[in-house]
Amino acid sequence: SVLVGGVTLTGSLVAWAKLKGVMSGGQIFLPGHQAINLVLLATVLVAGALALFVVPVGSLTLLYQLLAVAVLASFILGVTFAIPVGGADMPVVVSLLNSFSGIAAAMTGFVLYNNVLIISGSLVGAAGMILTIIMCRGMNRSLANVLFARFSLTGTGEKEEYVNVKSGEPVDAAIAMANANSVIIIPGYGLAAAQAQHAVRELQSMLEERGVDVRYAIHEVAGRMPGHMNVLLAEANVPYDKLFKREDIEADFKNSDVALVIGANDVVNPAALSDEQSPLYGMPILPAHEAQQAFVIKRSLAAGFAGMKNTLFESDKTLMVFGSAKEVVNGIAEELKEQ
C-alpha cells in the first residue's frame, strides 16, 4: 500500500507539472537512472520485510522509522519513475497512475479489512490497466517502451526552424468549408484550453445546414488524459455518432475536402511515419496531410509534447490560422453567417 500509493502520489504530481508546463515536458534521465529505481524499490521492500518479520511487535519507534524510510523511498521512486517519460506519452502514464491508485486502495483494504476498498480498488486498478493497454496499442508501442525508451531529438527535432509556412485568416477557412462536401475536425488540447467545444458544435451545425458532412476524428492520446476529447465534445452535445476513432476514419482523409485541426499537434505529425529519430516514430497518426486542404488552428508554431517539429505545418496544402481556438472558430462562424 505504501509503495504503490507513494509512487502514485508523486508520479501524479510530476505528470501534472509536465502537462501544466511547470517542468520540462521532455525526457529526464539521471545518471544510472534504472539502478537508482532498483535501489529505491529494494529499500521499500527491505524496510517492509524488516518491519513485518524481524522487528519485535513492541518496538514501535523502530517500526515507525522503517515506515518513514519506506514512505520517503516510495515518494522518490514516484518521481524517478515519471520524469523519464516524454510529454507526448503522459496520457498513458496518467492512465497507468489511475490504475495504481486503485491498486493502492485495494491493498489498503486488505490492511483495514475493508471489503469496499478491496472491491472498488480492484475495479479501478483493472479498468485503468485495460485502458493503459488500449492506449499503448493505439500508439503501436509497448508499455515498457513508453516508460523506459530513450529518444533522440535529432532529425526533424525541435531546433529546426519552420520554412514556407503559410498563414491565413478565419475567412479563408470559412470559404473552403462552405464549399466543401466533407469536413473532418481533429480536436486537441488547444480546444480544451480555450474551452472551444461549444463554438465548434455551433460551427458544425452551420456547416451541416449547408449540406456539409462534418465528422470528428478522435486520436487515442489527444489532450491531456484518456478520453479528454470525447468528454469535451459530449459536454457540447455533439452527437456520439459524429465521433470516430482513429482506425475508423483514417482512411477517409483522402476523400475529405477539409481537415480542420484545432489545437492538436503530435497526433497529426507526419514525422511519426517517416522520421526514425522522432519519439513519435511508429505511432499511428490522423493523416490530416492527406486531405485536399488542411487548416490548423494554433496560437503559435510551438512544438507539441514530443518537442518535435510538425512537418504538416509546412505542407503546401496547409494553412495556419493563428489565435485562440475559441476566437478563431467563432470568427469562422461569423464569416459563414455573412456568406
pLDDT band with cut points at 50, 70 and 90 for residue 156: very low
Lowest mean pLDDT among 40-49, 131-140, 180-189, 230-239: 131-140
- Per-residue pLDDT tens digits for 259-277: 999 999 888 999 888 877 7
Q: How far apart, in whole angstroms, are the C-alpha atoms of residue 199 and residue 197?
A: 5
Nearest CA to 276 among 158, 163, 153?
Answer: 153
> Cell 499511428 identifies what position?
284
Within 10 Å of residue 97's Cβ, how many Cβ atoms?
23
* Three cell numbers written together for 79: 518521481
Q: Residue 47: what pLDDT? A: 95
CB-count burial class (<10 Å; 0-12, 13-18, 19+) for 287: buried
Q: Residue 163: what pLDDT? A: 86
Q: List residues with catalytic annotation.
A: 266
Q: Residue 159: what pLDDT? A: 52
Q: How far apart, in whole angstroms, are the C-alpha atoms of residue 141 and residue 146?
A: 7
**DSSP string of 44-66?**
HHHHHHHHHHTS-TT-HHHHHHH
Q: How far apart, in whole angstroms, are the C-alpha atoms of residue 60 and residue 109?
A: 22
pLDDT band with cut points at 50, 70 and 90 for residue 301: confident
Q: How far apart, in whole angstroms, are the C-alpha atoms of residue 215 and residue 186?
A: 9
* DSSP structure class, residue 301: S
Higher-confidence residue of 9 and 22: namely 9
Tell me the pLDDT of the chain averaged across its residues: 89
Helices (H), the chain: 2-20, 33-53, 60-82, 90-112, 115-138, 143-148, 170-178, 189-194, 197-209, 228-235, 246-249, 271-274, 325-338
Looking at the predicted structure, is the pLDDT value of residue 233 above 90? yes
Q: Residue 306: what pLDDT? A: 65
Higher-confidence residue of 41 and 88: namely 41
Nearest CA to 267 among 240, 289, 241?
Answer: 289
Q: Residue 243: what pLDDT? A: 96
pLDDT band with cut points at 50, 70 and 90 for residue 154: very low
Q: How far apart, in whole angstroms, are the C-alpha atoms of residue 19 and residue 91?
A: 9
Looking at the predicted structure, is the pLDDT value of residue 331 above 80? yes
> Cell 511515419 identifies what position?
273
| 214 beta partners | 183
Stretch 156-185: mean pLDDT? 86
pTM > 0.85: yes or no: no
**DSSP string of 225-277?**
STTHHHHHHHHTT--GGGEEEHHHHGGGGGG-SEEEEES--GGG-THHHH-TT
Looking at the predicted structure, is the pLDDT value of residue 73 above 60? yes
